[in-house]
C-alpha cells in the first residue's frame, strides 16, 4: 500500500509543466518606424481622435484667414456693384436734366415765337382797320375845314367835332400819328411827291403843300403823305 501511494504522487508531479525560458513566449520590442507608421494610420483613420492627443498646428486650425479673404472679396464685389449702379444712376440723371433743359429751351423759343406771331397778327389786323378808318378821318377833316368858326357852334357841327376828337384819341392810343409834311425837307421814306413846282422863295427840295395826310403806325408808315415839292 505504501508503494502505490508513492507512485501516484510521482505521476502527479510529472504532469505539472515546468516553464523554461525556451517555452515562454518572447516579447518582441516595438520598432520605432513601425510604431510611427501605425500611429499615422490611426490618425488617418480617426482624425478627431488623433488631433486630441497632440498640439494643434496651422493646418488643423480653422481657416480664419481664408474666411476673412472671402468676406473681403464679397464686400469689395458689393462695393463695386453699388458704385457701378450709382454711376449709372448719375448718368441717367444727367441725361434727364439735359433733356429737360432742351425741352424748356424749345418751349421758351416756342412761346417767344408764338407771342411774336400774335403781336404780328394783332398789328396786321389793327393796320387793316386803321387803313379803312383813314378815309373817314379825311372826310371829317375836309368837312370841318369847310366850316366857318361861326358854324362850328351849331349843335350838328359840334357833334361832328366831338366825333373827330374821339377818332384822334383812338389813333393816339393805337400809336397812330400823322406825318409832318409842309415845310419839311422831302423824305422819300415818308412822302410821296405827286407834283413839283418852281418856287424861289422856298428852299430846294422842300414840301410846300400836302394833298393827303400820311400816317405812321408804331413807327411804321401806314400811308405816305401826298405832297408837292419845290425845286
Determine contact, residues 140/171, Cβ cutoff 8 Å: no
Place 29 in a pLDDT band, splitting at 50, 70 and 90.
very low
- Helix 155-173 to helix 64-145 angle, to the nearest 10 degrees? 150
156 & 169 share domain: yes
Query: Among the three residues 174, 198, 216, which one is the final residue of a domain in this structure?
Result: 174
Cell of 210: 400836302
pLDDT in tens, 178-224: 999 888 999 989 999 998 888 878 888 889 999 999 999 988 899 99
In a 13 Å sphere around the CA of 54, the CA atoms on its Cβ side amount to 13
Determine contact, residues 212/190, Cβ cutoff 8 Å: no
The pLDDT value recorded for residue 87 is: 87
| Residue of 99 and 59 predicted with greater confidence | 99
196 & 124 share domain: no
167 & 203 share domain: no
95 & 170 share domain: yes
pLDDT in tens, 74-88: 667 778 888 888 888
Domain with 195 in it: 176-231
* Segment 197-203 long-range contacts (CB within 8 Å, at least 24 positions apart): 197/228, 197/229, 197/230, 197/231, 198/230, 198/231, 199/230, 199/231, 202/230, 203/230
CA angle at 103 for the pair 98 and 109, rounded to the nearest 5°: 125
Q: Decide if 26 is inside a domain.
A: no
Q: Decide if 118 is inside a domain.
A: yes
The pLDDT value recorded for residue 26 is: 47
Q: How much of the chain exceeds pLDDT 90, in percent?
A: 16
Q: How much of the chain exceeds pLDDT 70, in percent?
A: 67
183: alpha, beta or left, given left = phi > 0 and alpha = psi -120 to 50? left
Place 62 in a pLDDT band, splitting at 50, 70 and 90.
low
Neighbours of 52 (CB within 10 A): 9
Number of structural domains, the chain?
2
The pLDDT value recorded for residue 51 is: 46
Section 99-113 average pLDDT: 90
Q: Decide if 30 is inside a domain.
A: no
The pLDDT value recorded for residue 178 is: 92
169 & 197 share domain: no
Amino acid at each position: 500500500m505504501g508503494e502505490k501511494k508513492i507512485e501516484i504522487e510521482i505521476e502527479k508531479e510529472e504532469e505539472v509543466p515546468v516553464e523554461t525560458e525556451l517555452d515562454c513566449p518572447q516579447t518582441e520590442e516595438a520598432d520605432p518606424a513601425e510604431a510611427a507608421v501605425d500611429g499615422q494610420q490611426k490618425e488617418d483613420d480617426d482624425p478627431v481622435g488623433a488631433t486630441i492627443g497632440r498640439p494643434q498646428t496651422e493646418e488643423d486650425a480653422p481657416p480664419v484667414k481664408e474666411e476673412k479673404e472671402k468676406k473681403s472679396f464679397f464686400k469689395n464685389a458689393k462695393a463695386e456693384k453699388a458704385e457701378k449702379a450709382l454711376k449709372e444712376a448719375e448718368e441717367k440723371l444727367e441725361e434727364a436734366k439735359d433733356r429737360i433743359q432742351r425741352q424748356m429751351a424749345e418751349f421758351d423759343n416756342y412761346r417767344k415765337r408764338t407771342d411774336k406771331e400774335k403781336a404780328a397778327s394783332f398789328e396786321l389786323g389793327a393796320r387793316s382797320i386803321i387803313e379803312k378808318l383813314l378815309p373817314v378821318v379825311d372826310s371829317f377833316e375836309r368837312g370841318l375845314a369847310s366850316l366857318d368858326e361861326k358854324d362850328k357852334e351849331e349843335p350838328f357841327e359840334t357833334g361832328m367835332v366831338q366825333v373827330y376828337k374821339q377818332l384822334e384819341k383812338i389813333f393816339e392810343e393805337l400809336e397812330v400819328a400823322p406825318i409832318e409834311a409842309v415845310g419839311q425837307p422831302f423824305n422819300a421814306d415818308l412822302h410821296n411827291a405827286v407834283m413839283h413846282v418852281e418856287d424861289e422863295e422856298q428852299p430846294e427840295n422842300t414840301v410846300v403843300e400836302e394833298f393827303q395826310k400820311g400816317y405812321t403806325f408804331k413807327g411804321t408808315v401806314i400811308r405816305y403823305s401826298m405832297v408837292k415839292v419845290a425845286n
